Structure 1
Amino acid sequence: MAPEAVREARQAVAEHLPKVGIAPNSAFAGAVLLVASELVANVIRHAVHTPVADVGITVGGGQLVIAVADCDPRLPGLTRDAMGEGLRTVAELAAEYDGEVSAEPAVDHEGKVVFVRFRIPAERPSGVSRL
């Protein structure tokens, strides 16, 4: 998988966000895009024999879930000590939006899927700030 896959995944996610009601220039959209980029970059770094990574977005029940699947069956360590810098950033961004990171074996192919769940923030009316 080539390094341009990070840019392509980020662009695809960015194009999808407005379709599911996420303001494209919001801090939340920025967090989602950074998470997508980091997850695909991790596939390039750690799942070197993966020809492609599948990136999916699901929105429902007040949550947005990004899923990135690859062909490497090794699950990432999800404790703070086991995470690398990129995955730690992903976990911190998810936590900022009452979310979490998880990973599980893929059900339809040899490999794994990493899930990042976010609670979609409620939009505030214009001119109303948070104290």
Structure 2
Amino acid sequence: MQRHIVSVPVGPEAVARRFSEVGVAPGSAFADAVLLVVSELVVNVLRHASRSPVAEVGITVGAGQLVVSVADAEPRLPALRPGSRGAGLQLVAELAADYDGNVSAEPAVDHDGKVVLVRFDIPS
């Protein structure tokens, strides 16, 4: 299992540079979906987590799955039930589902805040 954490003030550029390290073909439909998820989650930090000067973006790969995590300093968990999600989280959930994945959120373990997790099955 490989875990990569990148602190980014805005944008998914630093994440895209890690794709080759974790076996994701840059420019593939899957890579584009992952980047769009990162982008949407970072935008949500900007919109809804005013206490967070940065977002901590992680990519974990193992057992045929890629997990994107975005942590911030806002402890309030997002609404994840269908029908209660905003447009950005709805898009994230749909992209995850396209790759047999899902979206979850949990309190952060190492700081006051939360972590949003998006799991994807890596296409073969």
TM-score scaled by structure 2? 0.91
CA distance, structure 2, for counterparts of residue 12 and residue 83 of structure 1: 27
* Alpha-carbon RMSD: 1.1
Aligned residues: 117
TM superposition shift of 1:21: 1.0
> Which structure is larger by alpha-carbon Rg, 1 or 2?
1
- In structure 2, the partner of 1:32 is 34
Could you say what secondary structure the match of 1:93 adopts?
Answer: helix
Given residue 18 of structure 2, which amino acid in structure 1 is its aligned partner? H
The equivalences for 1:1-131 within 5 A come to: 5-7=9-11, 10-122=12-124
Whole-angstrom CA distance in 1 between matches of 2:73 and 2:41: 14
Unaligned runs of 5+ residues in structure 2 are: 1-7
Letter matched to residue 87 of structure 1: L
Q: Give the structure with the higher percent strand.
A: 2
d(CA) in 2 for partners of 1:95, 1:21: 20
CA distance in 2 between partners of 1:21 and 1:68 (Å): 20
**Counterpart-to-counterpart distance in 1, 2:95 and 2:9:** 21
Normalization by structure 1: what TM-score? 0.86
Q: Tell me the alpha carbon deviations over residues 2-33 of structure 1, each in whole angstroms, 9 at most, x when there is no partner.
A: xx9332xx111110011111110100000000
Q: Give unpaired runs (5+ residues) of structure 1.
A: 123-131
Percent identity among equivalent residues?
66
